[in-house]
């Protein structure tokens, strides 16, 4: 098993943090191997940013993506720049308020930024999206992802982030059931 994953958005949205948490969930809190790489433009905030994670049940010999099977998207510019290697059956999860022109008809739409604002803190939009992405794609066990979030965020924000993660999961569960 090898899962080629790309998380992308704009600098400042927590894309790198989400990728780091996903990799940690796979390799520290579950028994998978994981590699996480990241790149972003020269802009500190606002430029396209991406985090790529490979999750496998075997040693990972090459840490680059040859094709993307799973993609989480939080900006139109990132979608436009990084959708070039999606597999035909790729699972794509995006925030429709931030990616209004995605030409990918099977995408799972999760208004993560709006959900985070409703929760009282826009800063957790990346965690809402990560929960939704994991639920849509089943990348790692939910418990492993929760443990990685708890281990990765400042303790005073743990409850907010866990609630954000669960809200993302629940939004996708609701959409699956109708």
Q: What is the pLDDT of residues 13-28, one digit of tens each?
A: 999 999 999 999 999 9
Residue 48 confidence (pLDDT) above 90:
no
Task: Find out whether 72 and 6 touch, Cβ atoms under 8 Å.
Answer: yes
Residue 79's closest CA among 63, 69, 65, 93? Answer: 93
Long-range contacts of the stretch 60-65 (C-beta < 8 A, 24+): 60/2, 60/33, 60/34, 60/35, 63/35, 63/37, 64/37, 65/4, 65/6
Tokens representing 42 are 């020269």
Report pLDDT digits (tens) over 132-166.
Answer: 999 999 999 999 999 999 999 999 999 999 999 99
Residue 44 confidence (pLDDT) above 60:
no
pLDDT score at 45: 62
- CA distance linking residue 142 with residue 14, whole number of Å: 20
Domains of the chain: 2-177 (3.40.920.10)
Mean per-residue pLDDT over the chain, rounded: 92
Task: Find out whether 129 and 95 touch, Cβ atoms under 8 Å.
Answer: yes
Q: For residue 178, name the pLDDT band (cuts at 50, 70, 90).
A: low
User: b vs e for 94-114, b when ≥16 Cβ sit within 10 Å of the residue's Cβ?
Assistant: bbbebbeebeeeebbbbbbbb
- CA distance linking residue 79 with residue 94, whole number of Å: 9
Residue 73's closest CA among 35, 25, 33, 113? Answer: 113
Residue 66 confidence (pLDDT) above 90:
no
pLDDT score at 174: 87
pLDDT score at 136: 96
């Amino acid at each position: 098993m090898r899962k080629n994953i790309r998380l992308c958005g704009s600098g400042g949205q927590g894309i790198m943090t989400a990728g780091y948490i996903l990799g940690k969930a796979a390799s520290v809190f579950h028994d998978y191997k994981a590699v996480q790489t990241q790149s972003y433009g020269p802009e500190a905030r606002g430029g396209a940013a991406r985090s790529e994670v490979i999750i496998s049940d075997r040693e990972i010999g090459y840490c680059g993506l040859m094709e993307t099977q799973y993609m989480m998207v939080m900006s139109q510019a990132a979608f436009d720049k990084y959708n070039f290697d999606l597999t035909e059956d790729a699972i794509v999860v995006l925030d429709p308020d931030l990616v209004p022109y995605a030409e990918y008809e099977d995408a799972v739409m999760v208004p993560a930024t709006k959900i985070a604002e409703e929760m009282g803190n826009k800063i957790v939009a990346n965690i809402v999206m990560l929960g939704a992405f994991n639920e849509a794609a089943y990348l790692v066990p939910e418990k492993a992802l929760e443990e990685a979030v708890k281990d990765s965020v400042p303790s005073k924000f743990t409850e907010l982030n866990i609630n954000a993660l669960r809200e993302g999961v629940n939004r996708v569960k609701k959409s699956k059931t109708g």
